[in-house]
Amino acid sequence: MRVISGKAKGRSLKAVPGMSTRPTTDKVKEALFSMIGPYFDGGLVLDLFAGTGGLGIEALSRGMEKGIFIDIEKKSIDTIMHNLQSARLQEQSEVYRNEAGRALKALAKRDLQFDLVLLDPPYRMKNMDEWLETMQELGLLKEGSMVVIEHDAAHTYPEAIGGLTIRKHAVYGEIAVTVYLLSEPIELDNEEME
- Exposed/middle/buried for residue 181 (C-beta within 10 Å: 0-12, 13-18, 19+): middle
Residues linked to residue 47 through DSSP beta bridges, in sequence order: 69, 118
List pLDDT tens digits, range 140-156. 999 999 999 999 999 99
Cα–Cα nearest to 120, from 175, 183, 182, 50: 50
List pLDDT tens digits, range 6-25. 999 999 999 988 766 667 78
The yes-or-no verdict on residue 138 having pLDDT over 80 is: yes
Would you list the domain boundaries of the chain?
Answer: 26-193
Q: Report how far residue 122's alpha carbon sits from residue 109's, in angstroms, rounded to the nearest whole number.
A: 26
- pTM metric for this prediction: 0.91
Pairing of strands 164-172, 175-182: antiparallel
CATH class of this structure's domain 26-193 = alpha beta
List pLDDT tens digits, range 33-62. 999 989 999 999 999 999 999 999 999 999
Q: Report how far residue 111's alpha carbon sits from residue 160's, in angstroms, rounded to the nearest whole number.
A: 25
Mean per-residue pLDDT, 62-80: 97
pLDDT value of residue 123: 78
pLDDT value of residue 191: 41
Mean per-residue pLDDT, 75-98: 97
Q: Which residues contact 89 (CB under 8 A, 6 or more apart)?
A: 8, 57, 60, 61, 67
